[in-house]
Amino acid sequence: MKKSIIEIKGVKKAYKDVEVLKGVDFEVEQGGIFALLGSNGAGKTTMIRIMTTLLKADKGSTQINGFDIEKNPSEIRSCISLTGQFVAIDELLTGGENLQMIAKLRHIKNPNVVAEELINRFGMSEAADRRVGTYSGGMKRRIDIAMSLVGNPKIIFLDEPTTGLDPESRLEVWKIVKELSASGTTVFLTTQYLEEAEQLADKIAILHGGKIIALDTLEGLKKLFPPAKVEYVEKQPTLEEIFLTIIGKKGEK
C-alpha cells in the first residue's frame, strides 16, 4: 500500500442548519489521479475548500502531506495549489503576464523563466502574448492550470476542471491532467461527469448524502456488479449505471 498524502476522518460541515458533509472519510494515495464524484450540490466544493484551508470543518480531522490542517495550515498551503470551479485569470493581461504575476506573488526567483517554461510545457507559445480575453474556454482553463503549477506543488486540487467546456476543450484538459499526474503530481479533482472519472481517475470516491458511499478503482466499482450474461456476451456496467444504482436512482432517469 502506498503512502496516503491526504487523510480525511469524520469531516462534518453545515451551513447554518443545513448539514452538507455528515462525516466524510477517505484517503488519497500519493501520485495518481483521485476523482471525487458527486451531483451538483453534493458538497464537492465544500470538501475542496476544507482541504485547501479556505474553510474550517465543524468536526473531524484533515491531514495533508503529513500536516494537520488545524495546526499547520501554512505548511499545507505551501505544498498545494487550487484551481477553482470558475476560471480565475486576468482577462486584460496576456497568458504570459498572468503566469509572471503569479510567480511574483509566490516570490519565485525567476518569474519570467518560470512563466516561459510553463508556457512551453502547456504548448501555448503562440498564445502567450495575446490577452487572455481572446482565448477559447479550453485555453483559459489551460493557462489556469498552468498558473496553479507555479512553485511545483505536490498536490493540485482541480474543482470541476471541465464544467462548461465544449467536448474538444474537455479532451485538452484531460490530456493536461494526465500529463500532470505522469510528472508525479498528485491530482485531486472533482467532477459531476461520470465519463471524466472513468477516463482519468485511478481511484474514484462517490460523495452522496453527505458521505462517501463508495471508494475504489473503476475496476473495483465494476466488480460490485456481477456482469449480466446475455448469451455469450458479457456486459460490463458503465460507471453511470454503477453511480445511479449506488445512489439509489436506478430507473428514475
DSSP-derived secondary structure letter, 226:
P
Q: Judged by CB, which is closer to ligand ADP: 45, or 148?
A: 45
Contacted by 142, from ligand ADP, Mg ion, none: CB < 5 to 8 Å by type: none
Alpha helices in 30-110 (DSSP H): 44-51, 73-79, 95-105
Q: Judged by CB, which is closer to ligand ADP: 115, or 212?
A: 212
Q: Judged by CB, which is closer to ligand ADP: 15, or 232?
A: 15
Count of positions on this chain that bind ligand ADP (CB under 6 A):
10
Instruction: For the beta carbon of residue 248, count every other beta carbon within 10 angstroms.
Output: 11
Least spacing, CB of residue 85 vs Mg ion, in Å? 5
Torsion, CA 128, CA 129, CA 130, CA 135, rounded to 10: 0
Contacted by 149, from ligand ADP, Mg ion, none: CB < 5 to 8 Å by type: none
Least spacing, CB of residue 45 vs Mg ion, in Å? 3
Q: Is the dihedral of CA 241, 246, 250, 252 positive or negative?
A: negative
C-alpha cell at 218: 473503476
Least spacing, CB of residue 158 vs Mg ion, in Å? 11
C-alpha cell at 34: 483521485
In the list 21, 33, 38, 45, the residue contacting Mg ion (rule: CB under 5 A) is 45
Helices 95-105 and 137-148: crossing angle, nearest 10°?
20
> Which residue from 161, 180, 181 is spatially nearest to 171, judged by alpha carbons?
161
* Distance (Å, whole) CA 221 – CA 237: 9
Helices 111-121 and 95-105: crossing angle, nearest 10°?
130
Contacted by 46, from ligand ADP, Mg ion, none: CB < 5 to 8 Å by type: ligand ADP
Site for ligand ADP in 40-69 (CB under 6 A): 40-46
Contacted by 38, from Mg ion, ligand ADP, none: CB < 5 to 8 Å by type: ligand ADP
Site for ligand ADP in 14-43 (CB under 6 A): 15, 20, 38, 40-43
Q: Judged by CB, which is closer to Mg ion: 83, or 94?
A: 83
Q: Judged by CB, which is closer to ligand ADP: 128, or 201?
A: 201
Least spacing, CB of residue 46 vs Mg ion, in Å? 8
* Distance (Å, whole) CA 242 – CA 248: 10
Contacted by 20, from Mg ion, ligand ADP, none: CB < 5 to 8 Å by type: ligand ADP
Whether residue 127 contacts residue 95, with contact meaning beta carbons closer than 8 Å, is answered with yes
Binding residues vs Mg ion (CB under 5 A): 44-45
Binding residues vs ligand ADP (CB under 6 A): 15, 20, 38, 40-46
